[in-house]
A and B are shown apart, each in its own frame.
Chain A
Amino acid sequence: MKNGPVLEVNQLKTYFYLRDNKVAKAVDNISFSILPGETVAIVGESGSGKSITALSIMRLINKPGRIVDGEILLDKEEIHRFSPKQMMKIRGNDIAMIFQEPMTSLNPVFTIGNQIIEILRKHKKMSKGDASNRAIQLLKMVGIPRAEEVMKEYPHQLSGGMRQRIMIAMAISCDPKLLIADEPTTALDVTIQAQILDLMVEMKERFQMAVLLITHDIGIVSEYADHVLVMYGGQIVEQASAKELLQNTKHPYTKGLLESLPNIDDDVERLGTIKGTVPSASDFPTGCRFSSRCPNVMEKCTQSNPDLMEIEKDHFVRCYLYEGGIKNDNEYV
């Protein structure tokens, strides 16, 4: 029974209703799924809709935002239909989430021990003594030295890397099926980032979790993701396995991102750039949302938005350049 996807997102749309009848289409028709033990990465620049995708799955979208359409299935359960009360049970139990800045999710006035014990008592209905023992065990599992002492410490007494380890300990404390990590290492130094990402892989394999990894760092995607979604303007513009995406890059936006990156292994005098800036989610250009910055823009790109097309097996691209490609059943032809 464990073969189906843990998470299935179908045609998710999350919009923000702003003043002057403006609508920010933060997430606009996104579909993907994650298998147990699989890491799917969402990569894109800021404002592309990565965090709103994650928060939609957690059902944590507040006014003026709203999930306007789509399905979210967790182990085939239609959680998009769940009541807020049912969702409370899902969050922290079946789905756990870690953020860039652990301080925002840790309570500064409670000790680390108190916070983990609280979670275990609430979600796992453990006795105080059992919860305390389990908490120490979890801290050791995520590589916290002096676990017994750290139980008695407050979040501000710990380094950023340690705090992120604590977040991971809390996340796995209830054996979630899905772990969502939104830029989990963006605030950390590279040597600590490597430790945290390795820890996430270890925990994923140990507990066969599905992982949704949100990052702006394509290097991280290359080393840690099985599958990648490249987001731009609230939509997926390219989707493939990590290996395929990096070796056989198709979308002009993905190409632009890769060329913008200084590469440690080879020297270029000037970096490639993508002209202009990310358009606001309430003010996309007509047609393809990338058309205002695309070096390959054609007339039709400014008239209608291309569909996400499968141009090779399991490689999807939203771009008219590949329209005549392998698949030819495009409705816009």
Chain B
Amino acid sequence: MTMNTFEVPQDVLVDVRNVKKYFPIKGGILKRTIGHLKAVDDISFHILKGETLGIVGESGSGKSTLGRVILRLLDPTAGSIYFNGTDISYLNRKEIRPHRRDMQIVFQDSFASLNSKMSVAELVEEPLLVQTKLSKSERREAAVEIIEKVGLRADDRLKYPHEFSGGQRQRISIARALITRPKFVICDEPVSALDVSIQAQVLNLMKDLQDDLGLTYLFIAHDLSVVKHISNRVAVMYLGRIVEIADKKSLYDNAYHPYTQALLTSIPVIDNNSDATPRRTKIKLTGDLPSPADPPSGCTFRTRCPLAHDRCSIERPELKEKDNGHVVACHLYT
């Protein structure tokens, strides 16, 4: 087990220490556990109050699983999660309940996550019904307020999800997440399914709400430009592990990990320079993400890494601080 070598600053809201989530792999006629899929494999980081930590990584790298474990929608296999100073890692259903209203989640596919038979009012008020003892009129008042705050009209309350566009449905999901006045919101690909002009509206809204309500975000996305726009710090995940974490400026201007470099140079960029300045040199990766059920030995990225050397297949690189607050797990720097 790695030690938590990084100092944890004062105003930390979420502190994740050596968290693992392994899913059992069943096989044979007896359906016995024959192995483990290491969806999240020894992850540590913290999120400061009021900041946005972005998480990027290819699909299957464990981003959503990590988010669900932090919210205790899934139980961790190992490690601890501290929320506002309290260890919530192993609280039971009843013990976790008082914390639920402080931690919420917004998903990508709001339409699938919204019950189509419920009106907007019912959907938005539901968390209050479950998690608070507010009266009917108090719930209604809170719903009207939050619905207007996310840019819908008060009388949209009486409509049903299918009457709204994708962007508006995402606003409904946001209203539903914010109605309990949480401190912390996990945003799991909240704009990935939206057209760019609508994505921009929702991103601006999320920033405004953060300023307004003092929210702390964990923002998960596979789009590096979106994550850069919204985040203060960014963590890069590969096969269940964080390979690099830094301030966004430091990460995007000066990525150390070859995987981060490859991600950044793979994005097609808009070339609107009239002079013929050469584009940044692309680092091309070959092959696919290996299966987390059977990860490569040593550094799990080595099978796709253009700079892999002998040591990478033998020894797993640990996260080390390279520059101030810029942490990377790669043998090139050790």
Q: Give the interface of A toward B (CB within 8 A).
A: 45-46, 145, 159, 161-162, 189-195, 197-198, 216-220, 222-224, 243, 246-247, 256-265, 267-268, 270-274, 277-278
Given known A159-B288, A273-B200, contact A265–B226 (CB-CB < 8 A) = no
- Give the shortest distance, in Å, between B202 (CB) and chain A (any CB): 9
Residues 279-293 of B at the A interface (beta carbon under 8 Å): 282, 284-289
Q: How far is the CA of A189 from the CA of B269 in the complex (A)?
A: 15
Given known A263-B225, A264-B269, contact A273–B201 (CB-CB < 8 A) = yes
Given known A264-B252, A277-B165, contact A45–B270 (CB-CB < 8 A) = no
Contact residue range for chain B?
Answer: 35 or more
Instruction: Find chain A residues with CB under 8 A from B266 CB.
Output: 190-191, 193-194
Instruction: Find chain B residues with CB under 8 A from A278 CB.
Output: 195
Q: How far is the CA of A246 from the CA of B271 in the complex (A)?
A: 7
| A224, A259, A272: the one within 8 Å of B268 (CB) | A224
Of all chain A residues, which has the CB nearest B252? A264
Is the CB–CB distance between B167 and A277 below 8 Å?
A: yes
New A-B pairs, 11, CB < 8 Å, besides A257-B197, A271-B204: A191-B266, A194-B268, A195-B285, A198-B284, A218-B270, A262-B203, A262-B226, A262-B228, A264-B225, A268-B229, A277-B198
Is the CB–CB distance between B268 and A220 below 8 Å?
A: yes
Of residues A159, A162, A268, A273, which shows the largest number of chain B Cβ atoms within 10 Å of its Cβ? A273
Q: How far is the CA of A198 from the CA of B267 in the complex (A)?
A: 13
Q: Give the interface of B toward A (CB within 8 A).
A: 58-59, 165, 167-168, 195-201, 203-204, 207, 222, 224-226, 228-229, 252, 262-264, 266-274, 282, 284-289
Q: How far is the CA of A220 from the CA of B197 in the complex (A)?
A: 17
13 contacts between A and B (CB under 8 A): A189-B58, A190-B222, A190-B224, A216-B196, A222-B269, A247-B272, A260-B200, A262-B226, A263-B225, A264-B264, A267-B228, A272-B200, A274-B200
Instruction: Find chain A residues with CB under 8 A from B167 CB.
Output: 277
Is the CB–CB distance between A46 and B204 below 8 Å?
A: no
- Give the shortest distance, in Å, between A144 (CB) and chain B (any CB): 11
Of all chain A residues, which has the CB nearest B269? A219
Is the CB–CB distance between A195 and B207 below 8 Å?
A: no
Is the CB–CB distance between A161 and B225 below 8 Å?
A: no
The 6 closest A-B pairs by CB, nearest first: A219-B268, A262-B229, A260-B200, A271-B200, A45-B195, A274-B197
Instruction: Find chain A residues with CB under 8 A from B222 CB.
Output: 189-190
Is the CB–CB distance between B268 and A191 below 8 Å?
A: no
